[in-house]
């Protein structure tokens, strides 16, 4: 039986009409707004393989273009996280050949010797950056590309790394077949993606947007990879992107032993009932109540003439703003450090994005934490804002005002 049997997909959450999370607009002229693309963001649970996914994913060719805005090396937190994991993986597996699927601007690969690495990145603007230093394939990952690389390089890969990418690829069958094809017998695939356990615990429904076709659990990953001759042997909980899992996967017959850590993770996911539809139905109720509370709070503050902005033009906040219908009536503008987001408008709700040095001024009373996953880094940076009485608003794990 097909493990992706779509008739087993049960919708539990409807996040409404949504734009592409990274489709920042250059202007808000009628013609531009008329052409804006929207789709229905419905989330479902597969009762056969326990995979949580978007019911109807958007075509990747619409998403990963030469205008892709996200730069992994923008944040200090991510730069040091990638440096640390590169060191750790090198020590644990001593790989000779390394490949990254979704290498973005090379923030992970730059920690390795350039002769030993291969980058795969379909966004041409990003691939152009890594091409200067590494062998880069500016193509979508699939079985065909794995065959092409083997033919050209005449060797297999010992370490495949992929952070925040596998969960973006609708066709998991092709993805894992390609990986199995190119992975050496002793090789290891390491993937990092937002953790479903954390999403459910933190009510962080904004992890669902067009690019996150899947939000994985260890239970689901274990079920999926075994169909492609692969085995999940370890999983590590990490703090990046608001709580992610780092999955360690090898070939079925490889010597890597299943770890105790994997066993414990699977137990805690089963304890949370991530393998039953009931927990997702309860989650959907909590999401709806989060929406009502957030809108109520913003309206109340606005009524009291408070100036509210948003901090970080994240993809996640695209989901929040469009689901909760938060526009310029509630939030004045968004600040973001990413130069190529500045001067643009957020998808769907069309809030202006400006540079933090301009936007975080003495008139701001509240800042919605769009980048709640960087709370620590942001609180460090915004000591002055907090000192003069500025406050943040978050919806994770529940809607509240915070100043520490
Ligand atoms: P990211 O964490 O990648 O979230 P998502 O995947 O939901 O887009 O994005 C963080 C965004 O926040 C990024 O555009 C940079 C911005 N940012 C700031 O503007 N200031 C900061 O201090 C930090 C840490 C991030």
Domain boundaries, the chain: 62-271, 279-402
Phi and psi, residue 188, nearest 5°: -130, 135
Residue from 71, 74, 312, 370 to probe ligand 1 pocket by mutation (most atoms less than 8 Å from CB): 312
- In this structure, the residues whose C-beta lies within 6 A of any atom of ligand 1 are 70, 74-75, 312-316, 335-338, 341, 371, 373-374, 377-378, 381
CA angle 47, 48, 50 (to 5 degrees): 65
The pTM of this model reads 0.94
pLDDT for position 3: 66
User: What is the three-class DSSP state of 177?
Assistant: helix
Rounded to an integer, what is the distance from CA 77 to the centroid of its chain? 15
Query: Over the range 273-299, which residues count as b (16 or more CB within 10 Å of their CB) and which as e?
Result: ebbeeeebeebbeebeebbeebeebbe
- What kind and span of H or E run contains 264? helix 260-271
pLDDT for position 393: 98
**CA 174 to centroid of ligand 1, rounded, Å:** 31
pLDDT for position 2: 65
| Domains 62-271 and 279-402 alike in fold | yes
> Closest Cα to atom 1, ligand 1: which residue?
314
What stretches in the chain show pLDDT beneath 50?
1
**In contact, 184 and 253? CB cutoff 8 Å:** no
Topology of domain 279-402 in CATH is: Rossmann fold (3.40.50)
Distance CA 24, CA 345 (A): 5
Topology of domain 62-271 in CATH is: Rossmann fold (3.40.50)
pLDDT for position 77: 83
Tokens of 25: 């607009």
**In contact, 145 and 137? CB cutoff 8 Å:** yes
């Amino acid at each position: 039986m097909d493990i992706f049997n779509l008739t087993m997909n049960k919708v539990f959450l409807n996040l409404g009409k949504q734009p592409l999370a990274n489709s920042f607009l250059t202007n808000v002229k009628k013609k531009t707004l008329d052409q804006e693309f929207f789709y229905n963001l419905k989330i479902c649970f597969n009762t056969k393989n326990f995979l949580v996914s978007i019911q109807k994913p958007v075509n990747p060719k619409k998403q990963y273009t030469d205008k892709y805005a996200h730069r992994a090396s923008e944040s200090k937190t991510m730069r040091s996280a990638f440096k640390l994991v590169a060191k750790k993986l090198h020590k644990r597996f001593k790989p000779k050949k390394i490949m990254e699927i979704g290498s973005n601007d090379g923030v992970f690969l730059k920690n390795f010797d350039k002769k030993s690495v291969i980058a795969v990145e379909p966004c041409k603007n990003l691939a152009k950056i890594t091409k200067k230093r590494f062998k880069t394939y500016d193509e979508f990952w699939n079985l065909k590309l794995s065959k092409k690389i083997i033919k050209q390089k005449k060797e297999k890969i010992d370490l495949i790394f992929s952070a925040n990418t596998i969960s973006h690829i609708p066709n998991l069958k092709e993805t894992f077949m390609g990986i199995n094809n190119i992975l050496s017998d002793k090789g290891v695939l390491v993937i990092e993606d937002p953790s479903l356990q954390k999403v459910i615990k933190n009510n962080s429904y904004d992890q669902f947007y067009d690019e996150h076709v899947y939000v994985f659990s260890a239970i689901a990953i274990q079920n999926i990879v075994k169909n492609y001759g692969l085995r999940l042997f370890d999983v590590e909980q990490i703090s990046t992107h608001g709580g992610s899992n780092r999955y360690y996967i090898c070939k079925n017959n490889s010597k890597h032993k299943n770890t105790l850590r994997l066993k414990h993770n699977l137990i805690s996911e089963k304890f949370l009932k991530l393998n039953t539809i009931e927990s997702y139905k309860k989650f959907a109720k909590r999401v709806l109540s989060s929406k009502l509370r957030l809108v109520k709070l913003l309206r109340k503050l606005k009524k009291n003439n408070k100036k509210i902005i948003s901090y970080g033009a994240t993809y996640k906040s695209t989901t929040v703003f469009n689901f909760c219908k938060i526009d310029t009536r509630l939030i004045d503008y968004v600040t973001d450090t990413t130069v190529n987001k500045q001067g643009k408008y957020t998808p769907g709700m069309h809030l202006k994005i400006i540079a933090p040095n301009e936007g975080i001024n003495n008139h701001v009373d509240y800042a919605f934490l769009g980048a709640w996953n960087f709370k620590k880094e942001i609180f460090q940076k915004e000591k002055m804002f907090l000192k003069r009485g500025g406050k943040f608003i978050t919806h994770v794990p529940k809607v509240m005002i915070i100043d520490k």
